[in-house]
Amino acid sequence: MDIVHSVNGVPIRLTEERWLHIADNKPYMHGHYESVLWAVQNPTWVLRGYGGALVAVLPIARQEYLHVVYKEVTQEDGFVITAFIARKVNKRMIVWP
């Protein structure tokens, strides 16, 4: 398990179980473990997600954006839900910066 801090200073956990779930369901994500952690800690944008979740977004190539969905449960605890690569960013949902 690795822990990084979100832009709000909340520790966000990426557990082995979650990473295996992401990598098994999206095989193209296998080489992006470090990028997922980096995106949460150093996003270009943070979007409002569903159900109180947040989405850290990091450009990784021309028209490719890593999206990491995570939840800040309390000021001292949070966790990664999933991650994926998309071709667009919904800039209407930006909450940070």
User: Omega before 27 cis (within 30°)?
Assistant: no
pLDDT at res. 12: 98
Please report the pLDDT score of residue 21 as a whole number: 97
The CATH number of the domain where 22 resides is what? 3.30.2310
- Per-block average pLDDT, block size 10, for the chain (97 residues)? 97 98 96 97 98 97 96 98 97 96
**pLDDT in the model for residue 79:** 98
Give me the domain span that covers residue 71. Answer: 2-96
Q: What is the pLDDT of residue 63?
A: 94
| Antiparallel, parallel or unpaired: β 45-48 and 54-61 | antiparallel
What is the value of pTM for the model shown? 0.96
- Number of domains observed in the structure of the chain: 1
